[in-house]
Chains A and B, each alone.
Chain A
C-alpha cells in the first residue's frame, strides 16, 4: 500500500477534508469528485440501513408489515428520490471515472459527464414518477 498517493489538485491546501469543501476555483471535475465521494458515503450508510431493515424479516410477518407501513409514507418516498439521485450520480459518474482511468474518452470527459448526467436526470424523473405512482 506504500504507493498510494493522496489526492491533490494544486488549488487547495494540504488539508484534504477541508479541500473537498473549498469552493474556490472549482471546476467540473472537482465538483464531480466531491459529489461522488459524498454520495458514496451516503450510499454506505444506506447499505447498513438496508441490512438492518432486511433483518426485520426475521421478526416474522408483523415486523415486515410495520416496515412496509413506514416505507409507504410520503416522507420515506421522498427519501427514495434522494437515494435514487445518489445511486444515479454515483453510478453514472463512476462509469465516467472508470472509463477515463482506463484511458477511454479522457479528451471528451466534460461532454461524457454531461451526457451521463442528462441520462441520469431522465432516469431520475422516470424513477420519481414510478415511486409515487406504482
Chain B
C-alpha cells in the first residue's frame, strides 16, 4: 500500500489529465463539501432539536424556509454525485471487461439521475404539503 500511495502522490492524481483525474477531483471536492454540509445537516436537523427529530408540523415549517430548501437541494446533488462516483470506483475496481465497464458507467449515471429527480420531486412535494 505504501508503494501505491507514494506512486499516487508522486503522480499527483489531482493534476492528472483526462476523465479519471477530473472525476477523482470531483469526488475529492464533493467529499470535502459534504463534510461541511453534513455537519450543518446533523446540527440543524438533530442536535439543536428537542428529542432529536422534528414533528410533522415542525418539519413543514422548517423546509418552508427557502434558504433551508436550497441547502437541502445542494446537499442532495453533492451527496448523490459523491456516492455514485464512489460506487463507480468500486465497480470498476473489480476489473470488469470493457463492455461491462461501459454498462456500469451507464447504470451508475442513470441511478444517480433517478435519485436526483426523485429527491428533488420529494423535496418540492414536501414543501407544498
Contact A134–B126 (Cβ < 8 Å):
no
Check if A58 sits within 8 Å of B28, measured CB to CB: no
Determine whether the beta carbon of B35 is less than 8 Å from that of A103: no
> Do B9 and A106 have beta carbons less than 8 Å apart?
yes
Least CB distance, A41 to chain B, in whole angstroms = 7
Those of B93-129 within 8 Å (CB) of chain A: 93-95, 101, 105, 115, 118-119, 122, 125-126, 129
Q: How far is the CA of A130 from the CA of B53 in the complex (A)?
A: 12
Interface of A is mostly: helix
- Which residues of A are found within 8 Å of B67, using beta-carbon distances? none
Q: How far is the CA of A1 from the CA of B108 in the complex (A)?
A: 14
Q: How many residues of B contact A (CB 8 A)?
A: 52
The answer to whether A51 has its CB under 8 Å from any CB of chain B is: yes
Contact of A71 with B53 in the complex, beta carbons under 8 Å = yes
- Nearest-CB distance from A77 to chain B (Å)? 9
Chain B, interface SS category:
helix
Number of A-B contacts (CB under 8 A): 128
Q: How large is the interface on A (under 10, 10 to 19, 20 to 34, 35 or more residues)?
A: 35 or more
Interface residues of A (CB under 8 A from B): 1, 3-10, 14, 16-17, 27-30, 33, 37, 40-41, 43-44, 47, 51, 54-55, 57-58, 60-61, 64-65, 68, 71-72, 87, 91, 94-95, 97-98, 100-103, 106, 109, 130-131, 134
Closest 6 interchain pairs by CB? Answer: A29-B1, A98-B28, A106-B9, A61-B56, A64-B56, A134-B52
Q: List 25 A-B contacts (CB under 8 A).
A: A1-B101, A3-B19, A4-B20, A6-B93, A8-B4, A14-B95, A16-B94, A27-B2, A29-B1, A41-B87, A41-B90, A51-B115, A51-B122, A55-B122, A57-B56, A57-B129, A58-B122, A61-B56, A61-B57, A94-B35, A95-B35, A98-B28, A98-B29, A109-B5, A134-B46
